[in-house]
Amino acid sequence: MEPKMKTTDIPSRNTVLLSEIFYSLQGEGPWAGLPAVFVRLSGCVEPLCPWCDTGYAWSGGEETGISRILETIRSLSSRRVVITGGEPFLQWETGLEELHRILASEAYEIQYETSGKVPVPSLSDALIVCSPKHIGGAWRFEETNLGAVDVFKFVAQGGSWFERIDEFIARYGIDRERVYIMPLGATREEQIRNMEPVFTYCRKRGYRMSPRLQILAFDTRRGI
């Protein structure tokens, strides 16, 4: 079955459905702690992640011209751009590809955050961070994306979560240097509670542990 997009409209080429755009520090993964402009696109695919902390980006959004987004990015003091969602690659052919082309031509560093549920283009001028989701008893990941992904980033809280991650990594032969594990939790309290088992797991397996700095610092606040 094809993934179902949780938006009612697909934007025309050279526009995207934008949820929000803001300047902050990247809170997780390989760029953790680095300043960046965040471009969050609207729209996601089913099955939806029940622990998602950005469910507001599953649908809706404002149809926004690429030129307007570029104007905002250029006005901010960062040469890094994180494009996230929702699932950003749903909009690759309707505007995102053009945004990427211009950002790359202007020598911006670009990072994408994707679930890997939809096809991901192979990009030599961007960092692709994939967070596969185990939902309803199965990993929701397009295997054809393996060659396009640079880093795999998982959330976990212990027990069966670790077992499923081990199974995924073994199935696809993913090198441990490409694996980041984050404590599950959309609140500061949940993050702190799940840190110890994730720390112990990463130490045992040789994976990198990633915090979620934005949640530790601001709890449930948005746009930071």
Is 8 part of a structural domain of the chain? Answer: no
Is 5 part of a structural domain of the chain? Answer: no
CA 224 to CA 109: how far, in whole Å? 20
CATH number, domain of 129, equals 3.20.20.70
Q: Give the pLDDT band of residue 10 (cuts 50, 70, 90).
A: very low
pTM to 2 decimals?
0.92
Residue 89's Cα: distance from chain center in Å? 11
| Whether the predicted pLDDT of 5 surpasses 50 | no
Is 157 part of a structural domain of the chain? Answer: yes
Question: How do residues 48-103 score in pLDDT, each as one tens digit?
Answer: 999 898 999 999 999 999 999 999 999 998 999 999 999 999 999 999 999 999 99
Which pLDDT does position 21 carry in this prediction?
A: 97
Which pLDDT does position 3 carry in this prediction?
A: 43
- Domain with 139 in it: 15-218
Is 223 part of a structural domain of the chain? Answer: no
Is 7 part of a structural domain of the chain? Answer: no
Q: What's the average model confidence in pLDDT over 22-47?
A: 97
Q: What's the average model confidence in pLDDT over 202-214?
A: 97
Say how many domains are in the chain: 1
Is 89 part of a structural domain of the chain? Answer: yes
Q: How many CB atoms lie within 10 A of CB 39?
A: 25
Q: What's the average model confidence in pLDDT over 125-141?
A: 97
* Residue percentage of the chain with pLDDT more than 70: 95
Is 3 part of a structural domain of the chain? Answer: no
Q: How many CB atoms lie within 10 A of CB 197?
A: 18
Is 160 part of a structural domain of the chain? Answer: yes
| Whether the predicted pLDDT of 2 surpasses 60 | no
Q: What's the average model confidence in pLDDT over 127-146?
A: 97
Which pLDDT does position 11 carry in this prediction?
A: 46
Classify the phi-psi angles of 86: left when phi > 0, otherwise alpha if psi is within -120 to 50, otherwise beta.
left
Which pLDDT does position 9 carry in this prediction?
A: 44
Q: What's the average model confidence in pLDDT over 144-163?
A: 96
